A = this chain, B = another copy of it.
Amino acid sequence: MFSWIKNKWNSFMNNEELKRKIYVIIFEADTPLGKAFDVALIVCIVLSVLIVIMESVISHKLVGLSMRIVEWVFTVFFTLEYLMRLYCAKNPRKYVFSFFGIIDLLATLPAYLGIFFAGAQSLMVIRVFRIIRIFRIFKLFSFLKEGQLLLRALYDSGRKIVVFFLFVLVLVISIGTVMYLVEGDVEGSSFNNIPNSIYWAIVTMTTVGYGDITPVTPLGRFLCACVMLLGYTILAVPTGIVSASMIKTGGKKDEKPCPHCKRVGNEPDAVYCKYCGKFLEEIEY
- What sequence of 0s and 1s flags, for each residue 191-221 of chain A, a beta carbon within 8 Å of any chain B beta carbon? 0011110110011101111111010001001
Q: Which of A63-71, A81-89, A94-102, A156-164 contacts B (4 or more CB under 8 A)?
A: A156-164
- What sequence of 0s and 1s flags, for each residue 159-184 of chain A, a beta carbon within 8 Å of any chain B beta carbon? 11111111111100110010011001
Q: Which residue of B lies closest to A164 (CB)?
A: B150
Q: Which of A8-16, A20-28, A29-37, A225-233 contacts B (4 or more CB under 8 A)?
A: A225-233
CB contacts (< 8 Å) of A224 on chain B: these are 199
A150, B143: Cβ atoms closer than 8 Å: no
Identical chains bound together, number: 4
Task: State A72–B274 Cα separation when bound (angstroms).
Answer: 66
Task: State A160–B225 Cα separation when bound (angstroms).
Answer: 20
Kindly list 13 other residue pairs between chains A and B, CB separation below 8 angstroms, not including A165-B229, A243-B247: A56-B194, A119-B181, A122-B177, A129-B174, A143-B159, A143-B163, A199-B224, A204-B208, A206-B232, A208-B209, A211-B212, A232-B235, A271-B275
| Residues of A bordering B, CB below 8 Å | 49, 52-53, 56-57, 119, 122-123, 125-126, 128-129, 131-132, 134, 142-144, 146-147, 149-150, 153-154, 159-170, 173-174, 177, 180-181, 184, 193-196, 198-199, 202-204, 206-212, 214, 218, 221-222, 224-225, 228-229, 231-233, 235-248, 250, 265, 269-271, 274-275
